[in-house]
Structure 1
Amino acid sequence: MEQTLVERGGKLSPGRRFVEECLVKGTEAHLEYDVTITDSLTSSRRKPRNPARNMLKVVDLSRSPRDHYWHESPPLPGDAPIPGADVRREAASRFHRSPVPPLLTTRAWVQVPDRLWEDPETFQSFIDYRLIVRLCTAENVTILQGEGGLLNMPELGRMTDRGPFASTLLRACDEVEQMGGTADGLIINPADFYRYMGEGTLMDDLERNGVFIVRTRLVEPGTAVIGDFGHGVQLFDAGRSVIRFAEPPPGTFAEDGIALMAEIYERVVVNLPTNLFIVGL
């Protein structure tokens, strides 16, 4: 198993840095990071389970600032015919320039067991592998289900008919290539992933064909997102994070206690909506 609590690029893990801050300031500790901490740790799992973030091209706006992004849309009824667009469909697409949308706050909470901070090694592990893991789950909500999440984008294609193919997933892969792209990513519920594993080789076939698979509960069973993530989707990221002790909203936990909060700031945008599909399985 890989060593996970190692320095990345000479920097301490988020948990270690917060522990050192806590040793000085106690429960007044409030630490800002110049990185997005969901991307700061490697996995300790022998069987990796990738978050949705790992599917996307991340644009760190703190290091690569920009005000706008480009994207395409299908032709409108009445547009003049474009020679060759019957084969090269993308030739008829419209081009757009839009402002980078406001970034969304992704937040996670944990309740700290009494006096856990008195054991620095255990407290570090709790932050790195409980608080930040919960933040990764919250990030999946932002990317998939939240305001501006992929599942709430009406411009993405919907597909329920598998056509001449054995699966809607394969039909969607073909549709992406007919648009000039390559389906390189799939987001699927674990129940469907393991059902396909039990029924045949589709998941293995897709992975062997270069499709990166993310398993997450946040896509409903019977639904998946598949398409050209490498060229067609970006995650705009503030490149900063916060961990601090704070008062959680009512109902966050079953009982009162000291709580830690972590925040990151990001938003997903789609450059090529014609190359991404929400499919019924």
Structure 2
Amino acid sequence: MQRTDVIKRTIAEVVEDRRKQLSPGQVFVDAFAEGGFDTRVDYDVTITDSLTSSRRKPRYPSRNMLKVVDLSRDPQEFYWHESPARPGDPAVDGADLRREAANHFHRSPIPPLHTTKAWVQVPDGLWDDPTSFAEFINYRLVVRLATAENVTILRGEGGLLTMPDIARLTDPGPFGSTILSACNEVEQNGSTADGLIINPADYYRLLGSGTLMRDVEENGVFIVRTRLVDPGTAIVGDFGHGALLFDAGRSMISFAEPPPGTFAEPGVALTAEIYERVVLNLPTCFFVVSL
């Protein structure tokens, strides 16, 4: 079974499990009934992974591309990673055909996790309707947090687009597409490109001008559309084996005073936090391509 199918099957299983659990919004509303505007709820899960979309056409977040390591349940201190051959390295048998044979192996401590934070302003009096208040938390605050999480994974400090080890690819070569050229390069490095992160403007342009997007997905590449990748570029890589998302496995929602400039007008505000960081095991198997 192709990885795209495995991901979608896994997501379906997660959806079924989550139907049996209280949503983040319901948990907060229950606490609010006792604590009022002093309410703070600490969750023992990452709440961006606790809700599924009700859209008929899903749009998956970047976290769904990555193997998540929940450090609260599977604690570890170190992770392994590789780096390519260096100038002046001695010759390695077979490296002319198998580039990865000349790689260097490393053990590094898990870096400090980043705090991802989001804010929403609660419409006046919405808290008087527990059902609406819970839905607002679930589908505005948690959704805003998921957008902030995309920033952390892609553009923030330590995000994929800030990593100098990820090569840039601008030549489509004989394939007529930098996306396909990158897929080939990943395989020439001994892995398989199983993920593509692309701006919606480019996705729909390519979808409307040919079969590339459909062909790539049918070939087992999981596609994430997000505006946080600059138009005219995309990330291609082996997300299944070449990257990890270290996750604290906990979250927080509370009422709080927002920093100046957060909203256009004063009002009651909620904030939410999660804690995570992406790392690469195989940086040679990722490319930022120019489309």
Provide the TM-score with structure 2 as the length reference: 0.94
Question: In 2, Cα distance between the equivalents of 1:125 and 1:171?
Answer: 44
Matches within 5 A, 1:132-281: 132-281=142-291
Q: 1:246 to 1:93 in 2, by over 3 A?
A: same
Question: In 1, Cα distance between the equivalents of 2:237 and 2:212?
Answer: 16
Q: CA deviation at 1:10?
A: 4.0
Q: Does 1:118 align with 2:136?
A: no
- Paired residue for 1:69? 79
Q: CA deviation at 1:20?
A: 0.3
Question: In 1, Cα distance between the equivalents of 2:152 and 2:107?
Answer: 23
CA RMSD, 1 decimal = 1.4
Letter in structure 1 aligned against 2:128: E
Q: CA deviation at 1:163?
A: 1.0
The one of 9, 21, 34 equivalent to 2:31 is: 21
Unaligned stretches of 5+ residues in structure 2: 1-11
Aligned-residue identity in percent: 70
Question: In 2, Cα distance between the equivalents of 1:88 and 1:5?
Answer: 40
Q: Does 1:30 align with 2:40?
A: yes
Query: Is 1:105–1:266's contact at 8 Å kept on the other side of the alignment?
Result: yes
Segment of structure 1 superposing worse, 135-144 or 155-164: 155-164
Question: In 2, Cα distance between the equivalents of 1:52 and 1:85?
Answer: 33
Q: Which has the higher helix share?
A: 2
How many residue pairs get matched?
Answer: 279
Question: In 2, Cα distance between the equivalents of 1:130 and 1:74?
Answer: 43
Q: CA deviation at 1:8?
A: 2.1
Unaligned stretches of 5+ residues in structure 1: none
Question: In 1, Cα distance between the equivalents of 2:214 and 2:145?
Answer: 29
Q: 1:6 to 1:253 in 2, by over 3 A?
A: farther
Q: CA deviation at 1:7?
A: 7.0
Secondary structure of the structure 2 residue equivalent to 1:198: helix
Q: CA deviation at 1:115?
A: 1.0
Letter in structure 2 aligned against 1:201: T
Q: CA deviation at 1:249?
A: 0.3
Matches within 5 A, 1:86-101: 86-101=96-111
- Paired residue for 2:117? 107
Name segments (4+ residues, structure 1) moved above 3 Å.
Answer: 4-7
Question: In 2, Cα distance between the equivalents of 1:9 and 1:255?
Answer: 36
Question: In 2, Cα distance between the equivalents of 1:9 and 1:127?
Answer: 17
Letter in structure 2 aligned against 1:264: I
Q: CA deviation at 1:11?
A: 2.6
Q: 1:208 to 1:6 in 2, by over 3 A?
A: closer
- Paired residue for 2:52? 42
- Paired residue for 2:6? none
Q: CA deviation at 1:38?
A: 0.1
Q: 1:9 to 1:100 in 2, by over 3 A?
A: farther
Secondary structure of the structure 2 residue equivalent to 1:164: helix
Question: In 2, Cα distance between the equivalents of 1:31 and 1:58?
Answer: 23
Q: CA deviation at 1:9?
A: 7.1
The one of 51, 54, 74 equivalent to 2:61 is: 51
Question: In 1, Cα distance between the equivalents of 2:82 and 2:18?
Answer: 37
Provide the TM-score with structure 1 as the length reference: 0.97
Q: 1:78 to 1:50 in 2, by over 3 A?
A: same
Letter in structure 2 aligned against 1:208: E
Query: Is 1:5–1:13's contact at 8 Å kept on the other side of the alignment?
Result: no
Question: In 2, Cα distance between the equivalents of 1:38 and 1:61?
Answer: 16
Question: In 2, Cα distance between the equivalents of 1:250 and 1:42?
Answer: 32
